[in-house]
Structure 1
Amino acid sequence: MIKLEDVNFDKKTIIIIAIGLFIVGVLGWFMFGRGIPDTGSAIDQTRSNLSTVGDKQQSAIERLDVIENGLTNSADKACAISAGIGNTTKSINSVEGRITESQDRLKSSAGLITEGKSILRQVRERGQVGN
C-alpha cells in the first residue's frame, strides 16, 4: 500500500490539482447549487402562447368561413343574374321575331295599298274616258 508520506508532490502539481478542484466545485455549484430552474413559469408561458395561437387559428377559420359563405352567395347571385340574362335574351329574340313579322306585314300591306291605288287609278281613268 502506498502511504501519503511516500508520495512526493511538487508545487506545480499541487496548484494544478487545486485549480482542478476549484473548477469542479464551481461547475458543481452552477449545476446543482442553484437548484432546479423554475420550469412552471416557462410551462405557463408556453401554454399561454399555444392558447393564443389556437385562438388566432380559430379566428382565421371563422373568417375563412365568412369568405366562403360570401363566395357561395356571390356564385348564387351570379347564377340568378345569368338566368335573368338568359330570359332577357329570349325576350329580345321574341321581340325581334315579332318586329320582323310586323315588317313583313307592313311590306305586304304596302304592296297591297300600292296595288289598290293602281286599281283605283285605272278605274278613275276608265271613268273619265267613259264620260
Structure 2
Amino acid sequence: MKQRYRDSFKYIPKKKSDELDSLAVLDNDVGFQKWRYGFLAKKLSMNMPAIISNQEYRKARVNKLLRKQFDIPIHIKGFVYHQEISEQGKQLEDKASHILRLKQHDLSLSNAQIASLVGCSRQYVSNVLKCRD
C-alpha cells in the first residue's frame, strides 16, 4: 500500500526522482490515511457486485422489519446488504431437527406417528432418517 501511495505522486516540486524512492511513509501520515481510505473504498465498490452474487447477499432499504430482524440501530438509514433468510428453509430445518429429536428420545415411534406429530409426510420423515445414517 505504501509503495502504491509513493507511486501515486506524479509531480512534487523541488524533489528528485531518487528522493521519491526514499520517501518515508508512516502509518499515521494524514495524507496516506486519506489516500488508503479512498483506495479501499474504490476497490470495494468495484468488487461489490461480485461479492453480493457470490455470498448471496441482498440489497434492501432499512425498514421496521429489517430493524427488528437484524437489530439495526435507529440512526442507520438507507440501504444495507444482508443474507436472505428464507422462512421455508428455516421451517424445514426445524422439522428435520424435531424429527431427529423425537426418534432419539423414543425409538418405538413409527414414521407415521412422527409424521403426524410434526405435521409432515411419512416420506419426508423417512428421507430425514436416511440422511442421518
- The alignment's TM-score, normalised by the length of structure 2, stands at 0.25
Structure with the higher fraction of residues in strand conformation:
2
Question: Which one has the largest radius of gyration?
Answer: 1
Larger RCO: Structure 1 or Structure 2 (Cα < 8 Å, ≥ 6 residues apart)? 2
